[in-house]
Amino acid sequence: MDNIIIIGSSGHAKVVIDIVEQEGRYQIAGIVDPNRPIGEMQSGYPILGRNTELKQLIPYYHIRGAIIAIGDNFIRSQIAQRLSLLYPELCFVSAIHPKSSVAGDVAIGIGTVIMSGATINPSCSIGQFCIVNSNASIDHDSTMADFSSVAPGVVTGGNCTIGTYTAINIGATLIHGIHIGEHSVIGSGSTVLTDIESYTVAYGTPAKIVRERKPGDKYL
């Protein structure tokens, strides 16, 4: 069983750790987090050091892969890009909870996390470094672009598209055929009945654009 490391130690990281343990494909060597002291424990695993110390940590712990357990889409993308440049030998792996339901022809990119109770129906494409949270449902022929996320309880109809870096928040619903642009945020509990432009925040029932947003603006 290959050793991997978890990048980040937030509450989201606790869920990722549980998925890796439940899936049983990898052994977690420890956690990397620049804001925690070395040796401190999180979910039974030690903090090994900072991202900048990976050059030493990778051979010492025989690390074969990593999962970036950062909930914020934009921050996750920055870390992925930085680590890919600095440590090209480090592979990113996905984590898929055994109690999720993923159709056999679904494409899932590297670094993506699919949580317990999630349903992804046939002919969907889930990009790299995405998050499909607990009990979310992605219907047939839908696409999540890289670094996008759907929160717990999100439901999409078929043929929906969620753009790069976009976040669909808790309990939102997208009807069939909806397109959400990149770097956008859909508020919790919203019902999306029409396409939503890129670089916007929208919420309500029906969801309406309430303001513009810049890449990297906080939403968590």
For 151-163, write each residue's pLDDT tens digit: 999 999 999 999 9
Q: What is the mean pLDDT of residues 163-178?
A: 98
Tokens of 81: 């890009």
Calpha distance 209→40 (Å, rounded) = 43
pLDDT of the residue at 51:
85
Domain boundaries, the chain: 2-93, 96-206
Q: Categorize the per-residue pLDDT at 1 as very low, low, confident or very high, splitting at 50, 70 and 90.
A: confident
The answer to whether 209 and 197 have CB atoms below 8 angstroms apart is yes
CA nearest 72: which of 171, 5, 166? 166
- pLDDT over 80 at 220, yes or no: no
Considering Cα of 15, then 20, then 24, then 30, what sign does the dihedral take?
negative
Band of residue 52 on the pLDDT scale cut at 50, 70, 90:
confident
| pTM (two decimals) | 0.96
Burial (CB count <10 Å: 0-12, 13-18, 19+), residue 116: middle
Question: Partners of 176 in the beta sheet?
Answer: none
Cis-peptide, bond into residue 206, ω within 30° of zero: yes
**Quick one: tokens of 178?**
């909806």
Domain 2-93, CATH number (from 3.40.50.2020, 3.40.640.10, 3.40.50.20, 3.40.50.1220): 3.40.50.20
- Select the more confidently predicted residue: 51 or 190: 190
As assigned by CATH, the class of the 96-206 domain is mainly beta
The pLDDT-based confidence of 110 (bands split at 50, 70, 90) is very high
